[in-house]
Amino acid sequence: MTGTMATDVCIIGGGIAGCSAALHLAKRGISVVLLEKGRIGAQASGVNFGGVRRQGRHLAEIPLALRGRPMWDRMVDLVGEDCEFRATGHLRLARDPADMAALETYARDAGALGLDLELIGGNELRRRFPWLSEVPVGASWCPGDGQANPRVVGPAFGRAARAAGADLREGEEAATFERDGKGFRIATTSGLAITSRALVNTAGAWAGRVAGHFDEPVPIHSIAPQMVVTEPSPHVIGPVLGIVGGALYLRQIERGNVIFGGGDGLADIATTRSTVLPRNTVEVGALACRLIPHLARLNVIRVWTGIEGEMADVIPVIGPSRTTPGLFHAFGFSGHGFQLGPIVGVILAELIADGTTPSPIAPFDIGRFVG
Amino acid sequence: MSEARIVIVGAGPAGVRAAEALVNHGLAPIVIDEAPAAGGQIYRRPPAGFARPARVLYGFEAAKAQRLHAAFEALRPRLDYRPDTLAWNVSEGSLWTQRSGTIERIPFDRLILCTGAMDRVIPLPGWTLPGAFTLGGAQVALKAQGCAVGRRTVFFGTGPLLYLVAHQIAAAGATVAAVLDTSRARDSWHALAGLVAVPTTALKGAWYQLDLVLRRTPWHRGIRPLAVMGRDRVEGVRFRDANGTEREIACDAVAFGYGLKPETQLAELAGAAFAYDGAGLWLPRVDPAGRLAPNVYAAGDGCGILGADAAELAGRRAGLAVAADLGRTVPPREIAGIERRRSAIRAFRAGLEVAFPTPTELAATLPDATILCRCEGATVGALRTVANHKDAGEINQAKALCRVGMGRCQGRVCGFAACQVLAAARGVSVEAVGRLRAQAPVKPLPLAARLP
């Protein structure tokens, strides 16, 4: 497509954060063009595990996760469907006393920030969740956390943003960026040119390239978290499971399929190809069976992965550029951005429209990598 | 210098002849096969202890079946043969297999995929009722276990297998309640020019049809199947005959299918490029020798449906290509002879496509309530909804939104029809909606399976 379009805001990247930003900007009457090089919600937003979790996060993320949590209850109002969100609770398992001590410390620190967690000993754990093996010695329980279907969330936000008036373009890859006194000029590989007053970088694993265009290099690399889904079986595993250290995360959907993840495949942002390493699948499957013995009777029907950006310090970049007025970043969610995506879009809209946000985003300042 | 490690997947007509060509050049391949005995689907052997003669099992093809089995037995001492073994992934230059709960990674220098074909299914109301089988499924039950799928079976669909399986079931002593073919008699006449390229095969097909007439089996051509009827199991079939009259036939089983489709999942995982065949199928691109991707070859119906005789030739051709690529001398005359015979079969096959055209429009006109993806219980209407209201114009996108093709079989059964439904709902060509991407494992893999 060729031609020049003028807009208030141009967003690079149609994941959940980008589409939520488009939705919340459009609702404020601000014009938006979103450029997605592939399809809406196809990369990290669409192929992730689907955990909607606050516990276990870096403490700096807790205020954002708490603020974002009610959005998941209001998905029907927000985007027209519930996105299969269920507040099933999240159970974080400890496999030895050192892990349990880590859970105790975390519960105290998170509690101070307003996230109440319940610590559960081994006997009580097996009384409440009798399908667990003897391996876990205890757990931390967060009843308000849950799960949703990642494949439908990004597209739902995309449709809602379009309905609110945002112009979302799929298959449009931003190739060049210029900044002058009035704003930005972006050209895509297909020849589309856009002028905008503000620019939003929600390009996930590809966001380092966008930041690089504005002399703002960041320590980001690509990861490919591996997922597995089994055939359906009777629904007995209610909560989402994690373990201290993060080697396994697991949930069972109402249809009965067990979905779990762990380990990294190969990611290549040049070709947008990611590859599952079969050995990881087998090893993570073995760990899942050690924790939940009845899984050993099931068959794996599919594995997958996708490309995600991970920062050197494993927390995202969120906030205004330090080199370029009018440029805003939100990327590098490092494998745990699904729950945050909707609220990050709200925060971006606040930063652009109001010039400020009530959320404490200082820890995510891109300036932390300078010097 | 250690010998090149060559792995063949599949011990049907293509795999056996590929192995034979390699052994003739002093090479010793590993042969991986899902079945307990070599022969493939067409020359499937019954379990040990079943004593039914080849003439009964394979009919006109008995001599070919026995020759293939004998050829394989003669090769056995030179092969690393692994039956009952699932090849479930190609990754990191290796084939990944699973047998009896043990996973193995087999690095290869050359890989030859002889993965064959499966039934091409077009769903219809009632197709998931107990008693409904594919034509291939009905034939497997007969060949492997000596079982007829019902006492009174209606056969419907189109293609040579429709007549072959109906004939085999009748010969085995069960009742063929009717044969209902979506193709018309005049399609066969139009196809004659191609069919005469391999007259012996054409005559066998004509004999199966004549046999129907001699047995006074109800036989309709130019039909449209409407529903498999029954409450808890199959009780009948409803169809529209060539005159437009709706009819019903009572039965306790149905066997249906619309030709075959290649099994291409491993080829895709091995890096194959695909091309649309213009008739609903995506075929892996291979050169005439079967080269598919670096160090990967393919032969037989897995590259496009040409039947067992062509598969034997293609298998031999791929085996010779591997030998040549490893520096062995292969006489050009041998290659030329294979190619001559293959081109005759291709002409015959083109004739079959004319004689038994796939009624691709059937899927597009199915009622919304029809189950499309039986693994996930997803209906035709669910797919149309995401096509019309969620802007899903590509089949993988549609799969993500409505679960069609997301289940145990990963769309191997419903994928063909799902693309037809989606294309019709969007008003675009079938090619434009793409094809379901393959993901490992190509068939379900026990979670308890372990690397040694």
The string of DSSP codes covering A296-310 is GG-EEEEEE---EEE
B contacts of A159 (beta carbons < 8 Å): 390-391
Which residues, in sequence order, are CB contacts of B16 under 8 Å at separation 6+? B38, B40, B68, B71, B72, B75, B312, B315
Chain B contact present for A274, CB below 8 A: no
**Do B410 and A302 make contact, defined as CB atoms within 8 angstroms?**
yes
Contact partners, residue B427, CB within 8 Å, separation at least 6: none
The answer to whether the CB of B193 falls within 8 A of the CB of B351 is yes
Tokens linked to B266: 């491993």
As annotated, the residues of chain A forming the CATH 3.30.9.10 domain(s) are: 87-146+222-311
Min Cα distance A184 → chain B (Å) is: 30
Residue A8: HSE in the Cβ half-sphere, 13 Å Cα cutoff: 14
Distance, in Å, from the CA atom of B68 to the CA atom of A239, rounded to the nearest integer, reads 54
d(CA B113, CA B15): 8
Give, for all 452 residues of chain B, the pLDDT tens digit.
458 999 999 999 999 999 999 999 999 999 999 999 999 999 998 888 777 788 888 888 889 999 999 999 999 999 999 999 999 999 999 999 999 999 999 999 999 999 999 999 999 999 999 999 999 999 999 988 889 999 999 999 999 999 999 999 999 999 999 999 999 988 888 888 788 888 888 888 888 999 888 999 999 999 999 999 999 999 999 999 999 999 999 999 999 999 999 999 999 999 999 999 988 999 999 999 999 999 999 999 999 999 999 999 999 999 999 999 999 999 999 999 999 999 999 999 988 888 999 998 899 999 999 999 999 999 999 999 999 999 999 999 999 999 999 999 999 999 999 999 999 999 999 999 999 999 999 999 999 999 98
List own/partner pairs for B281-288 with CB under 8 A and 24 or more apart: B281/B416, B282/B435, B288/B317, B288/B339
Nearest beta carbon to residue B444 from set A151, A159, A299: A299
Question: Which H/E stretch holds residue B102?
Answer: strand B102-107
Taking the CB of residue A317, how many other CB atoms lie within 10 A of it? Answer: 27
- List every span in chain A annotated with CATH 3.50.50.60: 3-49+151-219+312-369
Name the pLDDT band for A2 (thresholds 50, 70, 90).
Answer: low
Q: Does B439 touch chain A (CB under 8 A)?
A: yes
For every residue of B131-180, DSSP letters joined together read TEEEHHHHHHHHHHH---S-SEEEEEEESHHHHHHHHHHHHTT-EEEEEE
Of A155, A298, A300, the CB nearest to B441: A300
Asked if A290 reaches chain B (Cβ–Cβ under 8 Å), the answer is: no
Q: Check B447 against A285: CB less than 8 A apart.
A: yes
Nearest by CB: A151 against B91, B105, B401 = B401
Looking at CATH, the fold of the domain delimited by A3-49+151-219+312-369 is given as: FAD/NAD(P)-binding domain (3.50.50)
Spatial contact of B10 and B33, defined as CB atoms under 8 Å apart: yes
Asked if A275 reaches chain B (Cβ–Cβ under 8 Å), the answer is: yes
In 3D space, the residue among A62, A75, A37, A40 whose CA is nearest the CA of residue A116 turns out to be A62
B391 near A CB under 8 A: yes
Mean pLDDT, rounded, for A285-301:
97
Peptide bond into B441 cis (omega under 30): yes
CA–CA separation, B128 and B131 (whole Å): 8
- Give the model's pLDDT for residue A371: 65
Pick the CATH number of A87-146+222-311 from 3.40.50.10420, 3.30.70.20, 3.40.50.1000, 3.30.9.10: 3.30.9.10
Q: What is the pLDDT of residues A182-193, one digit of tens each?
A: 899 999 999 999
Amino acid code (one letter) for B294:
P
Tell me which residue in A275, A282, A297 faces B103 most closely, judged by beta carbons.
A282
Token pair for B221: 């051509």
Confidence of residue A70 (pLDDT cuts 50, 70, 90): very high
Q: What is the pLDDT of residue B1?
A: 40
Q: In terms of DSSP H, where are the helices of B25-134?
A: 54-58, 62-75
Instruction: Give the residue from A59, A46, A31 showing the smallest Cα distance to A308.
Output: A46
Mode of pairing for the β-strands spanning B110-113 and B296-298: parallel
Rounded CA separation B381/B13 (Å): 40
From the candidates B389, B447, B450, which should be mutated to test the interface with A, based on the most A CB atoms within 10 A?
B447
